[in-house]
A and B are shown apart, each in its own frame.
Chain A
Amino acid sequence: MPTKLEARRVGIHYRRQRSGESLIAVDGVDLRIASGEFVAIVGPSGCGKTTFLNAVDGLLPIASGSLLLDGREITAPGPDRAMVFQQPSLLPWRTVTGNILYGLEMQRRAGTESRSTAKRLVELVGLRGFDDSWPSELSGGMQQRVNLARALATDPELLLLDEPFAALDAQTRETMQQELLRVWNETRKTALFITHDIAEAVYLADRVIVFTARPGRVKLEVAIGLPRPRDLRMKREAGFVEYERTIWETIREEVLRSEASPPAAVA
């Protein structure tokens, strides 16, 4: 499989709003994602995993190293990437259809066929009949479905997901995980998924990458050998639990280590 995304010794600095001092959020991340692969990054909170994702999206500049998408340096947001945000972040004054087409409009790619694109995506994410609903009329899980459809509408090369189910209740979260796998199965987009939920990472991904505590580095990579299509029942099986336990112990080690040391400033 050709490489879709490649990170070479990527360092990202983070400026503290109040003191103005620069901290190292991500330090020397090496990462390679193959085309069509589903990769999840987990790590203790504040490990810079969301920062890394924002850099891949082009919202944040990197301080060192290089970040390549299809061999080209990432410098700004582009139509080849789309983000599913942690908060649904839907425009409240646009209907479901209007929100799904938002990205296409911003990229000046909306046209006569947009309406049918929106209709297809509404059905893909399981919201048939809600095309003209306002976001305020939808539940949290349904709003996240729109968030996902909006990202898919631009037909990106790389789908970025920033803890999209973190704010949902436990049952809705599991349903959404299963729905995401169903949608991913149909589109087979290369996906980079950020989460702090280990079971979620193991359940969704082909490969789970564990970040160290701040500054974030790659601590461990685990290839998940579970067959697809996956089922929620797998979460109770021994193989699954074993993956979960390995990752959990690595993260626990990191949490204990980070509690003993202050964040590193830029030299």
Chain B
Amino acid sequence: MATPSGQLDTIASPAEPQALVRRPTDARDRAMRRHEPTIIGAAAVVLFFVVWQGVGIIRETAPEGLALGPFKFIAPSQLFLPTPLDIARAFQAYVQDGRIWKDVAVSGQELLVGYVSAALLGIVLGLLIGWYARLRYALDPFITFLYATPRIVLLPLFIIWFGIGVESKIAVVFLGAIFAILINTAAGVRNLDVNLIKVARSFGASDLQLFRTIALPGSVPFILTGLRLGIGHALTGVVVGELVAAQFGVGQMMAVAGATFQSSKVFAGLFLIAGTGMLMTFSLQKLEQRFEAWRPRPN
């Protein structure tokens, strides 16, 4: 890298690659910093459940209420607010009577089929809409109409069309998730760096090459955002769909439990659904990290 002359060389000549690596710090210190978010987060969750369980303890030990100076704290009844242990027991009963497997299979099928087909069609259509302006002009009114409508209001129609089985819920999940995915993907294509397009053109890239090497990788972050937003919509579709009309499913179980005042069981269903959503989001984050090794990381 030595240049013939000039004392300015050292200023901008690239350093050895090792210089880019962070200065080594104390290993324990580094491990602590890396796990800090997990440790603090876990501690907060544990604290939350302890306080919650504490309400139950107060309810049992001081049914008349607990005097706190001039105030009196009366614990809510179990029907109103079951404790974490009550919920765990309800969940255990749900597993033991075997209903859970049927419900999870039905809800899982609705979620999986609806979400995966929404993802596939949403990405393909989003790419096309972002790329071809005329197609966008044609489809925009329909997308705007459906996106502005809470898709759940279509459920009565879907029940007429597809019955109260999984098909009507799949339709709701599909319509719920697809727009977030489609709109984000299209935005990704439309926000491509014009400089990169110019580079591709300058090297004589065909439309297909331009699409494959610039448009597709350039929209990956947007596609992943769409997929993440879609998860929430899809879960809403499953649960609300089953609340309205269904024979099986986690949402249907919650509807029945709610109507019969089994609040612990309602909570058990809630945690099951929240857990599914968190698991899906987590998997997507892993996928994101794989796709975006090139992104600059803070520090």
A92-B294, A128-B1 given; A231·B204 CB < 8 A: no
What 9 pairs between A and B have smallest CB-CB spacing? A136-B296, A172-B12, A106-B203, A89-B195, A103-B203, A175-B12, A126-B1, A106-B205, A141-B12
The interface on chain A, measured as residues whose beta carbon lies within 8 A of the other chain's beta carbons, has a size of: 50
B4 contact from A57, A102, A105, A229, Cβ within 8 A: A229
Per-position binary interface string of chain A over residues 81-95, scored 1 when its CB falls under 8 Å from any chain B CB and 0 otherwise: 011010101011111
Contact (Cβ within 8 A) B12 A154: no
Q: Is residue A129 within 8 Å, beta carbon to beta carbon, of the partner chain? A: yes
The interface on chain B, measured as residues whose beta carbon lies within 8 A of the other chain's beta carbons, has a size of: 35
Residue of B nearest to A129 (CB): B17
Q: Is residue A4 within 8 Å, beta carbon to beta carbon, of the partner chain? A: no
A128-B1, A129-B16, A130-B14 given; A171·B8 CB < 8 A: yes
Contact (Cβ within 8 A) B3 A91: no
Q: Is residue A37 within 8 Å, beta carbon to beta carbon, of the partner chain? A: no
Q: Is residue B146 within 8 Å, beta carbon to beta carbon, of the partner chain? A: no
Contact (Cβ within 8 A) B196 A231: no
Residue of B nearest to A91 (CB): B196
Which residue among A106, A134, A139 has the maximum number of chain B CB atoms within 10 Å of its CB? Answer: A106
* Residues of A with C-beta under 8 A to B203: 77, 82, 102-103, 106-107, 154
25 contacts between A and B (CB under 8 A): A77-B201, A77-B202, A77-B204, A78-B204, A83-B199, A83-B202, A89-B193, A91-B199, A91-B217, A92-B294, A92-B295, A102-B213, A103-B203, A106-B203, A106-B213, A107-B203, A126-B14, A129-B16, A134-B293, A136-B296, A171-B12, A174-B8, A175-B6, A175-B9, A182-B4
* Residues of B with C-beta under 8 A to A129: 16-17
In the bound assembly, the distance between CA atoms of A130 and B19 in angstroms comes to: 12
8 A Cβ contacts from A166-188 to B: 171-172, 174-176, 178-179, 182
Q: Is residue A23 within 8 Å, beta carbon to beta carbon, of the partner chain? A: no
Q: Is residue B30 within 8 Å, beta carbon to beta carbon, of the partner chain? A: no
Q: Is residue A45 within 8 Å, beta carbon to beta carbon, of the partner chain? A: no
The tally of CB-CB contacts under 8 A between chains A and B is 113
Which residue among A83, A89, A171 has the maximum number of chain B CB atoms within 10 Å of its CB? Answer: A89
In the bound assembly, the distance between CA atoms of A76 and B204 in angstroms comes to: 8
In the bound assembly, the distance between CA atoms of A158 and B205 in angstroms comes to: 18
A87-B195, A171-B8, A178-B6 given; A137·B204 CB < 8 A: no
A175 contact from B8, B16, B205, Cβ within 8 A: B8
Residue of B nearest to A123 (CB): B1
Contact (Cβ within 8 A) B5 A231: yes
* Residues of B with C-beta under 8 A to A61: none
Contact (Cβ within 8 A) A179 B3: yes
Chain A nearest CB from B229 CB (Å) reads 22
Residues of B within 8 A of A (CB): 1, 3-6, 8-9, 11-14, 16-17, 20, 193, 195-196, 198-205, 209, 213-214, 217-218, 220, 293-296
In the bound assembly, the distance between CA atoms of A42 and B4 in angstroms comes to: 27
Which residue among B11, B196, B202, B220 has the maximum number of chain A CB atoms within 10 Å of its CB? Answer: B202
* Residues of B with C-beta under 8 A to A135: 294
8 A Cβ contacts from A147-170 to B: 154
* Residues of B with C-beta under 8 A to A232: 5-6, 8
B17 contact from A92, A133, A229, A233, Cβ within 8 A: A133
Contact (Cβ within 8 A) A137 B6: no
Knowing that A106-B204, A107-B204, A171-B8 touch, tell me 7 more A-B residue pairs with CB under 8 angstroms. A76-B204, A82-B202, A102-B199, A105-B209, A129-B17, A136-B295, A232-B6
Q: Is residue A127 within 8 Å, beta carbon to beta carbon, of the partner chain? A: yes
Residue of A nearest to B206 (CB): A106
A137 contact from B20, B202, B205, Cβ within 8 A: B20
Residue of B nearest to A154 (CB): B203
